[in-house]
Amino acid sequence: MNTIEKIQDWYAAQCNGDWEHYYGVAIDTLDNPGWSVSIDLVGSNLESVAMQPYKHDNGAHDWVFCEIRDGKFTGNGDASKLNIILEVFIKLLASPELSGASKAGVT
């Protein structure tokens, strides 16, 4: 299963008739150029997961920053880093803080 399929499965597993009306996943572009990803964790099976900020900064054309803040996973990176941002998020799905039951729908 690829990265996008894992995110699709995670998203579908969170949709309960309410969550998807208030929360979700946003992928956008930055004007420097780059990518911005925001994924709501409030009310999801990842709500209590913690992570160390992920930082890679080798200048204007080689950078990525990911963190969890205020109930959201956020990732920003240069124009070549969208997949890395999404992979950092996917690593949260393997967090030991999640029980097997709350991982349902994600493989």
Chain segment 29-50, per-residue pLDDT in tens:
999 999 999 999 999 999 999 9
0.95 exceeded by pTM: no
Please provide residue 46's backbone torsions phi and psi, each rounded to the nearest 5 degrees.
Answer: -105, 10
Whether pLDDT at 59 is above 60: yes
| Residue 69 structural domain | 27-98
Does 39 reside within a domain? yes
13 domain residue, yes or no: no
The pair of structure tokens assigned to 97 is 């803080």
Q: Tell me whether residue 61 is in a domain.
A: yes
pLDDT of 99 reads: 53
For residue 106, being part of any structural domain is answered with no
Q: How far apart are CA 12 and CA 33, in angstroms?
A: 30
Q: Is the pLDDT of residue 104 over 80?
A: no
Instruction: Give the pLDDT of residue 96.
Output: 74
CB atoms within 10 A of CB 82: 19
Residue 32 lies in a domain: yes
Rounded Cα distance, 49 and 96, in Å: 9
> 86 in a domain, yes or no?
yes
Question: Is 66 contained in some domain?
Answer: yes
